[in-house]
Structure 1
Amino acid sequence: MDHYQVLGLRKSASKEEIKQAFRNLAMQFHPDKHSQSSQHSRDSATFKFKQISEAYETLIDDRKRADYNISRSAYGAAQNKRYDYAYDRGAARNSYGNAYGYSGSASRGAGDFTFAKFEMGLRYLTTRSFLLNATFAGILLSGMYIVDTGGETLWKMHNPGKSFEEAMESVKKAKTVEDDTF
């Protein structure tokens, strides 16, 4: 379902245009307005009102709208892609011939899915918590490198000409000689 199409708007619509379109359509399709109508008219008005409400909730919130726009472009819904919906046989139909109570399974190309996964990964990598954790890990690794390098430097300052391994071998030799004498 295209939220912009449901509200009759362009993708560049302002918040005020979204509010105005929602008000007009909500007044037209509100279930209370159709309470005296036939069951078929009531059902189709209720269905349309739910679509309008969902579209409004998504498009009025800046974050949800950005997510919606990204997901539509990632999956190619804005382009001329083919979507096959498997409707339940017993699903009711509204006055426009659309089924509600359907189980929609959209078929998408593998390239679109790969792009969407890449997009989601990129969004995760730019979240505040990830960046804080990456910074903390970088600080820890830097500290470990500094301590390790500092230890080697101190060893070389106090034991010129000897490597740590050579010193350990001379300690082992001294221990074995000491053990043999007792």
Structure 2
Amino acid sequence: MGGDHYQTLGLQRDATKAEVKAAFRRRALRDHPDRHAHSHDAAARADAARRFRLASDAYRVLSDDRLRAEYDLRLRPSSWSSSSASYGYGYGYGHSRRGRSWRRDPPGGGGAAASARFDWDLLLKSVTRRGFLINLGFASVLLTGAAFLDGSILEIWKMNNSGKSFEDAMESIEKVKIQKENR
């Protein structure tokens, strides 16, 4: 995987799925290894195969909504630079170029916060995964059930023991235990 997927397919960043598919088909027709199989130039065959792999990878990412959203997140310029020449298209997180890191600085700037290097994009990816959301839903159902059950038990106690508090009932139980022990 290398370079900018949009650039590989010759597309703008706001290209539709239909445009992505059409651009991939054009590249596939031009660069497919079978089209160059009979070429006597081994370097030309290898270059066509490499271009086809890049186009295939670009199509795989840009045609899948989730993968494209993650890829577009990586394409956002980092907070340390506003120069279009330093954008890290296609290099991924943590890859350094000319001594600079593509990771964003944590909110709050330098000092102790800078040494922590909290990765906000990783947190966003983690909390939006299907497994995390299912576990979060399950935990909320369990907590809601526990809260409901706790309130219900108190209401049942009040219905069956009108006029008595829980403490009074516990005192009477202790008195009965003491009486049994004395016998």
Into which bin does the TM-score normalised by the smaller protein fall? 0.5 to 0.7
Report sequence identity in percent.
37
How far apart are residue 72 of structure 1 and its match? 2.7
Give the residue type in structure 2 aligned to 1:111.
D
Q: 2:47 aligns with which of 29, 33, 44?
A: 44
Partner of 2:125: 120
Partner of 1:100: none
How many residues align? The count is 156
Distance in structure 1 (CA, Å) of the matches to 2:180 and 2:9: 91
Distance in structure 2 (CA, Å) of the matches to 1:61 and 1:122: 19
Cα contact 1:74–1:116 (8 A) shared by 2? no
Gapped regions of structure 1 (runs ≥ 5): 86-104
Deviations 1:73-111 (A, max 9, x none): 3878x952469x8xxxxxxxxxxxxxxxxxxx8233253
Q: 2:20 aligns with which of 18, 21, 37?
A: 18
Q: If the length of structure 1 is used for normalisation, what is the TM-score?
A: 0.65
2:151 matched to 1:149? yes
Deviations 1:28-83 (A, max 9, x none): 2222333323222221111111111211222233343233223333878x952469
Partner of 2:64: 61
Deviations 1:3-33 (A, max 9, x none): 1111111112233332332233223222233
Structure 1 residues 40 and 134: CA distance shift in structure 2, 3 A:
closer
Deviations 1:135-182 (A, max 9, x none): 45434433333333333344345242x4323322332223323432x3
User: Which SS does the other structure have where 2:54 is aligned?
Assistant: helix
Cα contact 1:58–1:68 (8 A) shared by 2? yes
Deviates more, 1:145-154 or 1:37-46: 145-154
Cα contact 2:5–2:58 (8 A) shared by 1? yes
Partner of 1:9: 11
Structure 1 residues 57 and 165: CA distance shift in structure 2, 3 A:
same
**Radius of gyration: which is bigger?**
1
Cα contact 2:9–2:23 (8 A) shared by 1? yes
Give the residue type in structure 2 aligned to 1:163.
S
Distance in structure 2 (CA, Å) of the matches to 1:81 and 1:20: 27
Partner of 2:95: 106
Structure 1 residues 23 and 37: CA distance shift in structure 2, 3 A:
farther
User: Which SS does the other structure have where 1:41 is aligned?
Assistant: helix
Give the residue type in structure 2 aligned to 1:120.
K
Q: If the length of structure 2 is used for normalisation, what is the TM-score?
A: 0.64
How far apart are residue 2 of structure 1 and its match? 0.7
Cα contact 2:31–2:48 (8 A) shared by 1? yes
Give the residue type in structure 2 aligned to 1:24.
R
Cα contact 1:7–1:21 (8 A) shared by 2? yes
User: Which SS does the other structure have where 1:111 is aligned?
Assistant: coil
Cα contact 2:61–2:71 (8 A) shared by 1? yes
Q: How well do the aligned residues superpose, as a CA RMSD in angstroms?
A: 3.4
